[in-house]
Amino acid sequence: MLLRAEDLGPHSRGLTVSIKLDHHHRITVQKVFGHPLNHNIKWHDVCVLLERFGEVHETHNGNWAVTVDSEILSFGSSRARDLSEDQVIKVRRFLQSQGVTPKASKAA
């Protein structure tokens, strides 16, 4: 799947950067958008996916965050191996704000 920044909405700001999602990224996207809510989504898989959109880092208090265009979005603590329900929803909303949907990720 190849996303062009001009198709991504408010965060694109007129950029012409492409974002490539490979097979593993698409599987993670499908898990994040799955219904019922998937409880087996690994932090590692999500961090690798989020790195396609910005800089992923752990904050001083143990939360994972992604920085895109100087905006920081925190996803909460990473102490558990898998994401909590709230974290899955935050990641889902972030991906939607970047123009990523389960339908778009299948069309690769």
- How many angstroms separate the CA atoms of 64 and 80, rounded? 12
Looking at per-residue pLDDT, the higher value among 2 and 38 belongs to 38
Q: Is the peptide bond before 102 cis (omega within 30 degrees of 0)?
A: no
pLDDT band at 100 (very low <50, low <70, confident <90, very high): confident
What's the token pair of residue 70?
């100087």
Q: What is the mean pLDDT of residues 72-85?
A: 86
Q: Quote the pLDDT of residue 104.
A: 61
Q: Quote the pLDDT of residue 9.
A: 46
Q: Quote the pLDDT of residue 70.
A: 85
84-99 pLDDT tens trace: 999 999 999 999 988 8
Torsion 57-33-5-8 (CA) sign: negative
6-46 pLDDT tens trace: 444 444 444 334 578 889 999 999 999 998 998 899 999 99
DSSP 8-state class, residue 37? P
51-63 pLDDT tens trace: 998 999 988 888 8
How many Cβ atoms from other residues are within 10 Å of residue 42's Cβ?
13
Is residue 2 within 8 A of residue 18, CB to CB? The reply is: yes
Domain ranges of the chain: 2-106
